[in-house]
A and B are shown apart, each in its own frame.
Chain A
Amino acid sequence: MSALLSVSEVTVKFGGVVAVEDVSLDIGLGELVGVIGPNGAGKTTLMRVITGLVKPFNGTVALDGEDITNWAVDKRVRNGLALGQQIVKPLTAFTLLENVALASGCQRMASPLQALIQTKRDKELAKAGEFLDMVGIKSASDAYPSEVPLGYLKCLELARALALEPRLILLDEPLAGLNQAEATEMADLISSLVNETRSILLIEHNLREVIRICPKLYVQDQGRYLDFGPTSEVMANPKVRMAYLGEAKT
Protein backbone atom coordinates (compact mmCIF):
# COMPACT_ATOMS: atom_id res chain seq x y z
CA MET A 1 0.00 0.00 0.00
CA SER A 2 1.39 3.41 -0.94
CA ALA A 3 1.93 6.13 1.66
CA LEU A 4 -0.57 8.98 1.99
CA LEU A 5 2.21 11.49 1.37
CA SER A 6 5.45 10.58 -0.29
CA VAL A 7 8.27 13.10 -0.63
CA SER A 8 11.05 11.68 -2.79
CA GLU A 9 14.57 13.03 -3.18
CA VAL A 10 13.47 16.67 -2.96
CA THR A 11 16.08 19.38 -3.39
CA VAL A 12 15.32 23.11 -3.15
CA LYS A 13 17.76 25.84 -4.11
CA PHE A 14 17.37 29.58 -3.60
CA GLY A 15 19.99 31.04 -5.91
CA GLY A 16 23.20 29.39 -4.80
CA VAL A 17 21.85 28.35 -1.39
CA VAL A 18 20.65 24.78 -0.99
CA ALA A 19 17.75 24.99 1.47
CA VAL A 20 16.69 21.33 1.24
CA GLU A 21 18.92 18.60 -0.11
CA ASP A 22 17.78 15.20 -1.34
CA VAL A 23 15.09 14.74 1.29
CA SER A 24 12.67 11.81 1.27
CA LEU A 25 9.79 11.24 3.67
CA ASP A 26 6.71 8.97 3.74
CA ILE A 27 3.63 9.55 5.90
CA GLY A 28 0.81 7.05 6.27
CA LEU A 29 -2.86 7.67 6.98
CA GLY A 30 -3.66 8.25 10.65
CA GLU A 31 -0.12 9.29 11.60
CA LEU A 32 1.03 12.28 13.63
CA VAL A 33 4.58 13.06 12.62
CA GLY A 34 6.66 15.80 14.21
CA VAL A 35 9.24 17.62 12.12
CA ILE A 36 12.07 19.10 14.13
CA GLY A 37 15.43 20.67 13.47
CA PRO A 38 17.42 23.75 14.43
CA ASN A 39 16.63 27.16 12.99
CA GLY A 40 17.48 27.28 9.29
CA ALA A 41 17.20 23.51 8.91
CA GLY A 42 14.79 23.96 5.98
CA LYS A 43 11.70 22.59 7.74
CA THR A 44 9.37 25.35 6.54
CA THR A 45 10.84 25.13 3.04
CA LEU A 46 10.08 21.40 3.00
CA MET A 47 6.52 22.13 4.06
CA ARG A 48 6.18 24.80 1.38
CA VAL A 49 7.31 22.24 -1.19
CA ILE A 50 4.59 19.86 0.01
CA THR A 51 1.92 22.57 -0.20
CA GLY A 52 3.19 23.81 -3.57
CA LEU A 53 4.22 27.28 -2.44
CA VAL A 54 7.82 26.46 -3.45
CA LYS A 55 8.80 24.48 -6.55
CA PRO A 56 11.53 21.91 -5.90
CA PHE A 57 14.68 22.02 -7.99
CA ASN A 58 14.57 18.25 -8.04
CA GLY A 59 12.42 15.43 -6.65
CA THR A 60 8.72 14.64 -6.45
CA VAL A 61 5.79 14.93 -4.06
CA ALA A 62 3.00 12.35 -4.27
CA LEU A 63 -0.36 12.23 -2.52
CA ASP A 64 -2.04 8.82 -2.40
CA GLY A 65 0.40 7.65 -5.06
CA GLU A 66 -0.44 10.49 -7.45
CA ASP A 67 2.37 12.84 -8.44
CA ILE A 68 1.31 16.35 -7.36
CA THR A 69 4.67 18.07 -7.85
CA ASN A 70 3.33 20.34 -10.58
CA TRP A 71 -0.10 20.96 -9.08
CA ALA A 72 -1.05 24.47 -7.97
CA VAL A 73 -1.60 25.09 -4.25
CA ASP A 74 -5.39 25.34 -4.55
CA LYS A 75 -5.65 22.04 -6.40
CA ARG A 76 -3.60 20.29 -3.72
CA VAL A 77 -5.85 21.79 -1.07
CA ARG A 78 -9.03 20.63 -2.84
CA ASN A 79 -7.50 17.15 -3.07
CA GLY A 80 -6.80 16.60 0.58
CA LEU A 81 -3.98 18.83 1.83
CA ALA A 82 -4.50 21.61 4.35
CA LEU A 83 -2.05 24.15 5.67
CA GLY A 84 -1.91 25.92 9.02
CA GLN A 85 0.63 28.70 8.67
CA GLN A 86 3.21 29.84 11.21
CA ILE A 87 2.14 33.47 10.92
CA VAL A 88 -1.64 33.37 11.22
CA LYS A 89 -3.35 34.78 8.17
CA PRO A 90 -7.04 35.28 8.86
CA LEU A 91 -9.21 37.03 6.27
CA THR A 92 -9.65 40.23 8.22
CA ALA A 93 -12.82 41.36 6.47
CA PHE A 94 -14.61 38.13 7.47
CA THR A 95 -15.86 37.00 10.87
CA LEU A 96 -14.28 33.87 12.33
CA LEU A 97 -17.38 31.92 11.26
CA GLU A 98 -17.14 33.22 7.68
CA ASN A 99 -13.41 32.42 7.58
CA VAL A 100 -14.16 28.79 8.36
CA ALA A 101 -17.29 28.64 6.16
CA LEU A 102 -15.23 29.78 3.17
CA ALA A 103 -12.81 26.90 3.73
CA SER A 104 -15.71 24.52 4.26
CA GLY A 105 -17.13 25.45 0.86
CA CYS A 106 -13.88 25.08 -1.08
CA GLN A 107 -15.33 22.29 -3.23
CA ARG A 108 -18.16 24.64 -4.28
CA MET A 109 -15.50 26.97 -5.65
CA ALA A 110 -13.61 24.32 -7.62
CA SER A 111 -14.42 26.37 -10.73
CA PRO A 112 -15.77 29.91 -11.12
CA LEU A 113 -18.84 28.69 -13.03
CA GLN A 114 -19.68 26.23 -10.29
CA ALA A 115 -19.23 29.00 -7.73
CA LEU A 116 -21.45 31.35 -9.73
CA ILE A 117 -24.46 29.05 -9.85
CA GLN A 118 -24.45 28.29 -6.12
CA THR A 119 -25.68 30.70 -3.50
CA LYS A 120 -26.66 28.71 -0.40
CA ARG A 121 -24.21 28.98 2.49
CA ASP A 122 -26.34 27.56 5.35
CA LYS A 123 -24.73 24.12 5.34
CA GLU A 124 -21.19 25.55 5.34
CA LEU A 125 -22.01 28.06 8.06
CA ALA A 126 -23.42 25.27 10.24
CA LYS A 127 -20.36 23.11 9.62
CA ALA A 128 -18.10 26.09 10.34
CA GLY A 129 -19.82 26.46 13.72
CA GLU A 130 -19.05 22.81 14.47
CA PHE A 131 -15.37 23.21 13.58
CA LEU A 132 -15.10 26.34 15.73
CA ASP A 133 -16.70 24.37 18.54
CA MET A 134 -14.22 21.55 18.00
CA VAL A 135 -11.28 23.94 18.52
CA GLY A 136 -13.01 25.70 21.41
CA ILE A 137 -13.67 29.19 20.03
CA LYS A 138 -17.34 28.97 19.00
CA SER A 139 -18.19 31.79 21.41
CA ALA A 140 -16.24 34.17 19.16
CA SER A 141 -17.93 33.07 15.91
CA ASP A 142 -19.23 36.53 15.06
CA ALA A 143 -16.08 38.40 16.05
CA TYR A 144 -13.62 39.73 13.50
CA PRO A 145 -9.99 38.54 13.63
CA SER A 146 -8.83 41.97 14.82
CA GLU A 147 -11.05 41.59 17.91
CA VAL A 148 -9.63 38.31 19.27
CA PRO A 149 -6.25 37.34 20.83
CA LEU A 150 -3.51 35.34 19.12
CA GLY A 151 -4.56 32.08 20.78
CA TYR A 152 -7.96 32.35 19.09
CA LEU A 153 -6.33 33.06 15.72
CA LYS A 154 -4.17 29.95 16.11
CA CYS A 155 -7.34 27.96 16.77
CA LEU A 156 -9.00 29.63 13.78
CA GLU A 157 -6.10 28.52 11.58
CA LEU A 158 -6.71 24.97 12.81
CA ALA A 159 -10.49 25.19 12.34
CA ARG A 160 -10.02 26.43 8.77
CA ALA A 161 -7.64 23.57 8.04
CA LEU A 162 -10.18 21.08 9.43
CA ALA A 163 -12.99 22.65 7.41
CA LEU A 164 -11.15 21.75 4.22
CA GLU A 165 -11.78 18.12 5.26
CA PRO A 166 -8.21 17.12 4.45
CA ARG A 167 -6.49 13.79 4.72
CA LEU A 168 -3.25 15.51 5.66
CA ILE A 169 -2.86 18.70 7.69
CA LEU A 170 0.47 20.48 7.63
CA LEU A 171 0.96 22.67 10.68
CA ASP A 172 3.83 25.14 10.79
CA GLU A 173 4.70 26.09 14.37
CA PRO A 174 1.14 26.24 15.71
CA LEU A 175 2.46 26.64 19.26
CA ALA A 176 4.66 29.66 18.51
CA GLY A 177 3.69 32.72 20.53
CA LEU A 178 1.57 30.75 23.02
CA ASN A 179 2.43 30.47 26.71
CA GLN A 180 3.14 26.99 28.10
CA ALA A 181 -0.42 26.36 29.33
CA GLU A 182 -1.89 27.42 25.98
CA ALA A 183 0.75 25.40 24.12
CA THR A 184 -0.09 22.26 26.09
CA GLU A 185 -3.79 22.78 25.42
CA MET A 186 -3.16 23.33 21.70
CA ALA A 187 -0.86 20.29 21.51
CA ASP A 188 -3.55 18.12 23.11
CA LEU A 189 -6.07 19.47 20.61
CA ILE A 190 -3.76 18.69 17.67
CA SER A 191 -3.19 15.19 18.98
CA SER A 192 -6.94 14.60 19.29
CA LEU A 193 -7.51 15.53 15.64
CA VAL A 194 -5.57 12.59 14.25
CA ASN A 195 -7.75 9.64 13.32
CA GLU A 196 -7.92 6.81 10.78
CA THR A 197 -8.87 9.25 7.99
CA ARG A 198 -6.59 12.13 8.85
CA SER A 199 -2.84 12.60 9.38
CA ILE A 200 -0.93 15.59 10.69
CA LEU A 201 2.60 16.73 9.89
CA LEU A 202 3.65 19.07 12.68
CA ILE A 203 6.61 21.42 12.37
CA GLU A 204 7.35 22.79 15.79
CA HIS A 205 10.16 24.20 17.91
CA ASN A 206 8.50 23.36 21.22
CA LEU A 207 10.38 20.09 21.64
CA ARG A 208 8.72 19.21 24.91
CA GLU A 209 5.24 19.19 23.35
CA VAL A 210 6.39 17.54 20.11
CA ILE A 211 7.99 14.66 21.99
CA ARG A 212 4.91 14.37 24.19
CA ILE A 213 2.32 14.10 21.41
CA CYS A 214 4.13 12.79 18.30
CA PRO A 215 4.69 9.02 18.04
CA LYS A 216 7.08 9.60 15.12
CA LEU A 217 9.71 12.24 14.44
CA TYR A 218 11.47 13.43 11.32
CA VAL A 219 14.66 15.41 11.89
CA GLN A 220 16.33 17.70 9.40
CA ASP A 221 19.54 19.70 9.80
CA GLN A 222 21.05 22.18 7.34
CA GLY A 223 18.59 21.05 4.71
CA ARG A 224 19.52 17.38 5.01
CA TYR A 225 17.72 14.33 6.35
CA LEU A 226 19.05 13.33 9.74
CA ASP A 227 16.67 10.71 11.11
CA PHE A 228 13.08 9.45 10.88
CA GLY A 229 11.34 6.92 13.10
CA PRO A 230 9.68 6.36 16.47
CA THR A 231 10.21 9.35 18.76
CA SER A 232 12.16 7.51 21.47
CA GLU A 233 14.58 6.03 18.94
CA VAL A 234 15.09 9.31 17.12
CA MET A 235 15.73 11.24 20.31
CA ALA A 236 18.26 8.61 21.37
CA ASN A 237 20.23 9.14 18.15
CA PRO A 238 23.51 10.92 19.08
CA LYS A 239 23.52 12.81 15.76
CA VAL A 240 20.08 14.23 16.50
CA ARG A 241 21.02 15.24 20.00
CA MET A 242 24.15 16.92 18.75
CA ALA A 243 22.39 18.78 15.95
CA TYR A 244 19.31 19.76 17.85
CA LEU A 245 20.38 19.99 21.46
CA GLY A 246 24.03 20.83 20.94
CA GLU A 247 25.36 17.92 22.99
CA ALA A 248 28.88 16.87 22.13
CA LYS A 249 28.56 13.47 23.75
CA THR A 250 25.75 11.06 24.59
Chain B
Amino acid sequence: MAYEIIVATTMAITILFALSLNIITGFCGQVSLGHAAFYGLGAYTGAMLTKAGWPLIAALPPAAIVAGSVGFVVGLASLRVRHDFLAITTMGVAFLFVGLVRKQEWLGGEIGISGIPAVQFGRPGLLVLSIICAALFAALAVYIKRSWMGFAFDSIANDEDTARVLGIDVPRFKLWAFVIGTSGAGVAGALYAHHVRYIGPDSFGFVESVTVLAMVIIGGVGSVWAVALAAAVLSVLPLWFQFVSDYKLLIYGLLVFGVMRFSPDGIAGAVQRLLNRRS
Protein backbone atom coordinates (compact mmCIF):
# COMPACT_ATOMS: atom_id res chain seq x y z
CA MET B 1 0.00 0.00 0.00
CA ALA B 2 2.88 2.38 0.82
CA TYR B 3 4.20 1.98 -2.73
CA GLU B 4 0.81 2.81 -4.24
CA ILE B 5 0.62 5.92 -2.07
CA ILE B 6 4.05 7.02 -3.29
CA VAL B 7 3.05 6.46 -6.93
CA ALA B 8 -0.25 8.30 -6.51
CA THR B 9 1.46 11.22 -4.75
CA THR B 10 4.04 11.49 -7.56
CA MET B 11 1.19 11.45 -10.04
CA ALA B 12 -0.79 14.21 -8.28
CA ILE B 13 2.25 16.48 -7.88
CA THR B 14 3.24 15.99 -11.54
CA ILE B 15 -0.31 16.76 -12.69
CA LEU B 16 -0.21 20.01 -10.71
CA PHE B 17 3.22 20.85 -12.16
CA ALA B 18 2.12 20.15 -15.76
CA LEU B 19 -1.17 22.04 -15.39
CA SER B 20 0.74 25.05 -14.10
CA LEU B 21 2.87 25.10 -17.27
CA ASN B 22 -0.28 24.58 -19.33
CA ILE B 23 -1.56 27.99 -18.18
CA ILE B 24 1.54 29.70 -19.61
CA THR B 25 2.23 27.59 -22.68
CA GLY B 26 -1.12 25.99 -23.39
CA PHE B 27 -3.53 28.79 -22.61
CA CYS B 28 -1.44 31.87 -23.35
CA GLY B 29 0.92 30.45 -25.97
CA GLN B 30 4.15 31.49 -24.24
CA VAL B 31 6.75 28.75 -24.60
CA SER B 32 8.70 28.17 -21.39
CA LEU B 33 11.74 25.93 -21.19
CA GLY B 34 12.56 26.94 -17.64
CA HIS B 35 9.51 25.89 -15.68
CA ALA B 36 11.49 23.58 -13.40
CA ALA B 37 13.17 26.66 -11.91
CA PHE B 38 9.84 27.69 -10.37
CA TYR B 39 9.22 24.13 -9.21
CA GLY B 40 12.64 24.38 -7.54
CA LEU B 41 11.91 27.77 -6.01
CA GLY B 42 8.76 26.34 -4.41
CA ALA B 43 10.65 23.25 -3.26
CA TYR B 44 13.46 25.23 -1.63
CA THR B 45 11.04 27.72 -0.04
CA GLY B 46 8.82 24.94 1.33
CA ALA B 47 11.77 22.90 2.60
CA MET B 48 13.44 25.85 4.32
CA LEU B 49 10.21 26.86 6.03
CA THR B 50 9.27 23.40 7.29
CA LYS B 51 12.84 22.92 8.48
CA ALA B 52 12.33 26.15 10.44
CA GLY B 53 9.28 24.59 12.07
CA TRP B 54 6.44 25.68 9.80
CA PRO B 55 3.74 23.14 9.01
CA LEU B 56 3.63 22.21 5.29
CA ILE B 57 0.18 23.70 4.75
CA ALA B 58 1.44 27.06 6.01
CA ALA B 59 4.54 26.79 3.79
CA LEU B 60 2.52 26.34 0.57
CA PRO B 61 1.38 29.99 0.18
CA PRO B 62 4.93 31.39 0.62
CA ALA B 63 6.19 28.81 -1.90
CA ALA B 64 3.55 30.05 -4.38
CA ILE B 65 4.39 33.69 -3.64
CA VAL B 66 8.15 33.26 -4.09
CA ALA B 67 7.76 31.30 -7.34
CA GLY B 68 5.03 33.66 -8.59
CA SER B 69 7.13 36.76 -7.83
CA VAL B 70 10.09 35.43 -9.79
CA GLY B 71 7.60 34.31 -12.46
CA PHE B 72 6.41 37.92 -12.69
CA VAL B 73 9.96 39.07 -13.37
CA VAL B 74 10.50 36.37 -15.99
CA GLY B 75 7.10 37.28 -17.43
CA LEU B 76 8.43 40.79 -18.00
CA ALA B 77 10.94 39.21 -20.40
CA SER B 78 8.05 37.74 -22.36
CA LEU B 79 6.90 41.27 -23.11
CA ARG B 80 10.07 41.92 -25.09
CA VAL B 81 10.75 38.57 -26.75
CA ARG B 82 8.53 36.03 -28.48
CA HIS B 83 8.51 32.46 -29.75
CA ASP B 84 12.00 30.89 -30.08
CA PHE B 85 13.62 33.84 -28.34
CA LEU B 86 11.29 33.49 -25.36
CA ALA B 87 12.09 29.76 -25.24
CA ILE B 88 15.81 30.54 -25.11
CA THR B 89 15.29 33.24 -22.48
CA THR B 90 13.30 30.92 -20.21
CA MET B 91 15.89 28.19 -20.79
CA GLY B 92 18.42 30.67 -19.45
CA VAL B 93 16.28 31.08 -16.33
CA ALA B 94 16.50 27.34 -15.69
CA PHE B 95 20.30 27.37 -15.95
CA LEU B 96 20.51 30.53 -13.87
CA PHE B 97 18.46 28.95 -11.08
CA VAL B 98 20.59 25.83 -10.92
CA GLY B 99 23.81 27.86 -11.16
CA LEU B 100 22.77 30.20 -8.37
CA VAL B 101 21.51 27.49 -6.02
CA ARG B 102 24.71 25.48 -6.42
CA LYS B 103 26.72 28.39 -4.99
CA GLN B 104 24.47 29.14 -2.01
CA GLU B 105 25.73 27.47 1.15
CA TRP B 106 22.58 28.41 3.06
CA LEU B 107 20.60 26.40 0.48
CA GLY B 108 22.90 23.43 0.85
CA GLY B 109 24.98 24.27 -2.22
CA GLU B 110 25.84 21.27 -4.39
CA ILE B 111 24.70 18.83 -1.71
CA GLY B 112 21.21 20.24 -1.45
CA ILE B 113 18.82 20.03 1.47
CA SER B 114 18.32 16.71 3.21
CA GLY B 115 16.35 15.79 6.25
CA ILE B 116 13.27 17.66 5.14
CA PRO B 117 10.74 16.92 7.88
CA ALA B 118 8.07 14.35 7.21
CA VAL B 119 4.62 15.85 7.09
CA GLN B 120 2.76 15.57 10.39
CA PHE B 121 -0.16 13.71 8.87
CA GLY B 122 2.00 11.05 7.22
CA ARG B 123 2.22 9.84 3.62
CA PRO B 124 -1.53 9.27 3.19
CA GLY B 125 -2.07 12.84 4.38
CA LEU B 126 0.50 14.17 1.87
CA LEU B 127 -1.28 12.21 -0.85
CA VAL B 128 -4.63 13.76 0.07
CA LEU B 129 -3.08 17.24 0.22
CA SER B 130 -1.42 16.73 -3.19
CA ILE B 131 -4.67 15.51 -4.73
CA ILE B 132 -6.56 18.49 -3.25
CA CYS B 133 -3.98 20.94 -4.61
CA ALA B 134 -3.98 19.31 -8.07
CA ALA B 135 -7.79 19.19 -8.14
CA LEU B 136 -8.12 22.82 -7.05
CA PHE B 137 -5.61 23.93 -9.68
CA ALA B 138 -7.38 21.86 -12.36
CA ALA B 139 -10.68 23.49 -11.33
CA LEU B 140 -9.04 26.92 -11.53
CA ALA B 141 -7.68 26.08 -14.99
CA VAL B 142 -11.12 24.95 -16.20
CA TYR B 143 -12.68 28.10 -14.77
CA ILE B 144 -10.03 30.34 -16.42
CA LYS B 145 -10.68 28.60 -19.74
CA ARG B 146 -14.39 29.47 -19.46
CA SER B 147 -13.83 33.05 -18.32
CA TRP B 148 -13.07 36.12 -20.42
CA MET B 149 -9.49 35.75 -19.26
CA GLY B 150 -9.37 32.38 -21.04
CA PHE B 151 -10.89 34.00 -24.15
CA ALA B 152 -8.18 36.68 -24.02
CA PHE B 153 -5.45 34.04 -23.47
CA ASP B 154 -6.72 32.09 -26.48
CA SER B 155 -6.56 35.18 -28.68
CA ILE B 156 -3.03 36.01 -27.49
CA ALA B 157 -1.90 32.44 -28.16
CA ASN B 158 -3.44 32.68 -31.63
CA ASP B 159 -2.10 36.10 -32.68
CA GLU B 160 -1.06 38.65 -30.10
CA ASP B 161 -0.86 41.55 -32.58
CA THR B 162 -4.48 41.01 -33.55
CA ALA B 163 -5.47 40.62 -29.89
CA ARG B 164 -3.93 44.02 -29.23
CA VAL B 165 -5.95 45.77 -31.94
CA LEU B 166 -9.06 44.18 -30.47
CA GLY B 167 -8.47 46.10 -27.24
CA ILE B 168 -6.72 43.43 -25.18
CA ASP B 169 -3.92 44.59 -22.90
CA VAL B 170 -1.60 41.79 -24.04
CA PRO B 171 1.36 42.49 -21.71
CA ARG B 172 -0.79 42.42 -18.55
CA PHE B 173 -2.54 39.21 -19.55
CA LYS B 174 0.81 37.55 -20.29
CA LEU B 175 2.09 38.58 -16.88
CA TRP B 176 -0.97 37.09 -15.22
CA ALA B 177 -0.42 33.83 -17.07
CA PHE B 178 3.17 33.72 -15.84
CA VAL B 179 2.23 34.56 -12.25
CA ILE B 180 -0.61 32.00 -12.07
CA GLY B 181 1.46 29.29 -13.77
CA THR B 182 4.63 29.81 -11.77
CA SER B 183 2.71 30.04 -8.47
CA GLY B 184 1.18 26.65 -9.25
CA ALA B 185 4.66 25.27 -9.95
CA GLY B 186 5.80 26.68 -6.61
CA VAL B 187 3.10 24.76 -4.73
CA ALA B 188 3.95 21.59 -6.69
CA GLY B 189 7.62 22.09 -5.78
CA ALA B 190 6.88 22.44 -2.06
CA LEU B 191 4.82 19.23 -2.13
CA TYR B 192 7.57 17.47 -4.08
CA ALA B 193 10.21 18.48 -1.52
CA HIS B 194 8.16 16.84 1.24
CA HIS B 195 7.44 13.84 -0.91
CA VAL B 196 11.08 12.96 -1.63
CA ARG B 197 12.46 14.70 1.52
CA TYR B 198 15.71 15.53 -0.22
CA ILE B 199 16.25 18.18 -2.87
CA GLY B 200 19.32 19.34 -4.71
CA PRO B 201 20.01 21.71 -7.63
CA ASP B 202 19.95 18.83 -10.13
CA SER B 203 16.37 17.94 -9.16
CA PHE B 204 15.25 21.09 -11.04
CA GLY B 205 17.50 21.19 -14.08
CA PHE B 206 16.79 21.68 -17.74
CA VAL B 207 15.76 18.04 -18.16
CA GLU B 208 12.87 18.55 -15.72
CA SER B 209 11.73 21.62 -17.68
CA VAL B 210 11.79 19.68 -20.95
CA THR B 211 10.02 16.71 -19.34
CA VAL B 212 7.10 18.80 -18.12
CA LEU B 213 6.88 20.60 -21.48
CA ALA B 214 6.75 17.19 -23.17
CA MET B 215 3.78 16.29 -20.95
CA VAL B 216 1.93 19.44 -22.02
CA ILE B 217 2.69 18.84 -25.71
CA ILE B 218 1.75 15.16 -25.60
CA GLY B 219 -1.49 15.94 -23.76
CA GLY B 220 -2.39 18.75 -26.11
CA VAL B 221 -1.55 22.37 -25.35
CA GLY B 222 -4.47 24.12 -23.71
CA SER B 223 -6.50 21.04 -22.75
CA VAL B 224 -6.81 20.56 -18.99
CA TRP B 225 -7.96 16.94 -18.95
CA ALA B 226 -5.51 15.74 -21.61
CA VAL B 227 -2.50 17.43 -20.01
CA ALA B 228 -3.50 15.95 -16.64
CA LEU B 229 -3.81 12.52 -18.28
CA ALA B 230 -0.44 12.80 -20.03
CA ALA B 231 1.21 13.98 -16.79
CA ALA B 232 -0.37 11.13 -14.82
CA VAL B 233 0.78 8.45 -17.27
CA LEU B 234 4.22 9.86 -17.99
CA SER B 235 4.98 10.44 -14.31
CA VAL B 236 4.42 6.82 -13.37
CA LEU B 237 5.95 5.12 -16.41
CA PRO B 238 9.52 5.55 -15.09
CA LEU B 239 8.37 4.06 -11.76
CA TRP B 240 6.75 1.04 -13.36
CA PHE B 241 9.23 0.28 -16.11
CA GLN B 242 12.94 0.45 -15.43
CA PHE B 243 13.80 0.89 -19.13
CA VAL B 244 11.59 4.01 -19.27
CA SER B 245 13.56 5.42 -16.38
CA ASP B 246 16.86 4.55 -18.07
CA TYR B 247 15.87 5.98 -21.45
CA LYS B 248 13.45 8.66 -20.23
CA LEU B 249 14.62 11.51 -22.47
CA LEU B 250 14.81 9.24 -25.51
CA ILE B 251 11.29 7.90 -24.96
CA TYR B 252 9.79 11.33 -24.20
CA GLY B 253 11.59 12.72 -27.25
CA LEU B 254 10.14 10.01 -29.46
CA LEU B 255 6.68 10.60 -28.02
CA VAL B 256 6.90 14.34 -28.68
CA PHE B 257 8.16 13.64 -32.20
CA GLY B 258 5.28 11.23 -32.80
CA VAL B 259 2.72 13.70 -31.49
CA MET B 260 4.08 16.58 -33.56
CA ARG B 261 4.08 14.37 -36.65
CA PHE B 262 0.70 12.70 -36.31
CA SER B 263 -1.35 14.90 -33.98
CA PRO B 264 0.20 18.31 -33.32
CA ASP B 265 -2.65 19.14 -30.96
CA GLY B 266 -1.80 16.12 -28.81
CA ILE B 267 -4.06 13.52 -27.26
CA ALA B 268 -6.83 16.13 -26.88
CA GLY B 269 -6.80 16.85 -30.63
CA ALA B 270 -6.74 13.17 -31.57
CA VAL B 271 -9.72 12.41 -29.30
CA GLN B 272 -11.61 15.43 -30.64
CA ARG B 273 -11.09 14.29 -34.23
CA LEU B 274 -12.24 10.80 -33.31
CA LEU B 275 -15.41 12.18 -31.71
CA ASN B 276 -16.09 14.44 -34.72
CA ARG B 277 -15.73 11.46 -37.07
CA ARG B 278 -18.19 9.41 -35.03
CA SER B 279 -20.86 12.12 -34.79
Residues of A within 8 A of B (CB): 51, 53, 72-75, 77-78, 83, 85, 89-94, 102-103, 105-112, 114-119, 121, 160, 164
Contact = CB atoms under 8 A, between A and B. Distances in A.
Given A91-B162, A116-B147, A77 B152 contact: no
Most buried by A among B148, B151, B162, B166: B166
Contact of A111 (B143, B147, B158, B169): B169
- Chain B interface main SS type: helix
B166 to A, nearest CB: 5
B149 A74 contact: no
Nearest to B167: A106
- Which 7 interchain pairs have the tightest Cβ spacing? A106-B167, A77-B167, A115-B148, A115-B149, A112-B176, A116-B149, A89-B162
Given A91-B155, A92-B158, A102-B151, A75 B169 contact: yes
Interface of B: 143-144, 146-149, 151-152, 154-155, 157-159, 161-170, 172-173, 175-176
B165 A77 contact: yes
Nearest to A92: B158
Given A103-B166, A160-B166, A112 B149 contact: yes
A116 B164 CA distance: 18
A116 to B, nearest CB: 4
A139 B155 CA distance: 23
Given A77-B167, A106-B167, A115 B152 contact: yes
A71 to B, nearest CB: 11
A114 B169 CA distance: 12
Given A73-B164, A89-B159, 12 more contacts: A53-B165, A72-B164, A74-B168, A106-B168, A109-B173, A112-B175, A115-B149, A115-B152, A116-B148, A116-B176, A121-B148, A160-B166
A118 B172 contact: no
B164 A102 contact: no
Given A73-B164, A118-B148, A94 B169 contact: no
Contacts of A75: 169
